[in-house]
Amino acid sequence: MATVKTTWAVDPTHSEVQFKVKHLVISTVTGSFKSFDASAETEGDSFEGATVKFSADINSIDTNMEQRDGHLKSADFFDAENFPTLSFVSTSFTLKGDDEYVVTGDLTMRGVTKSVTLAATYGGQMVDFYGNTKVGFEISGKINRKDFGLNWAAVTEAGGIVVSDEVKLHINIQLVKQA
């Protein structure tokens, strides 16, 4: 008997997509995408081997400073005019421990696609007040922005690097089982 395919859709009101970048090597700037979409397809309710898709609207970037957001959207970084969407499609979703998964997939930014591997911690499954079955994941990882053509760099007069190449990703996602 074949296992039933289950589709899960993001609950954007209970999800967040953040990134952290070192500034001047002494502090960290946190940003987020305010507009994004995510879905998963599983065999039954098990996420082992799930297919995950994610996309974010570059124009929804928010670092709590309008001028910096504008610079990030410019051709110096994301080039939102020509590449308005960041996307990820998983190629594997593997259980590594009790609630620990390794997610590998193709991340596309600024027209460049590279394979990335992220850690995902399963937060559990719960039925909400309205009878919807929900699951939660906390996803983290690191990428090098220059791998995706986000090459802008500057050095201070004292020789300090303005923006690090390493970007930390931190995503809390809640998915809703679709009927």
Show the domain range for 84. 5-177
Mean pLDDT by 10 residues, the chain (179 residues): 84 91 69 94 90 96 89 88 96 94 95 96 94 95 83 54 73 94
pLDDT score of 31:
87
How many structural domains are present in the chain? 1
Residue-wise pLDDT tens digits, 133-153: 999 999 999 988 788 777 656
Residue-wise pLDDT tens digits, 86-95: 999 999 999 9
CATH code, domain with 55: 2.40.128.110
Three-state SS across the chain? CCCCEEEEEECHHHCEEEEEEEECCCEEEEEEECCEEEEEEEECCEEEEEEEEEEEEHHHEECCCHHHHHHHHCCCCCCCCCCCEEEEEEEEEEECCCCEEEEEEEEEECCEEEEEEEEEEEEEEEECCCCCEEEEEEEEEEEEHHHHCCCCCCECCCCCECEEEEEEEEEEEEEEECC
pLDDT score of 158:
52
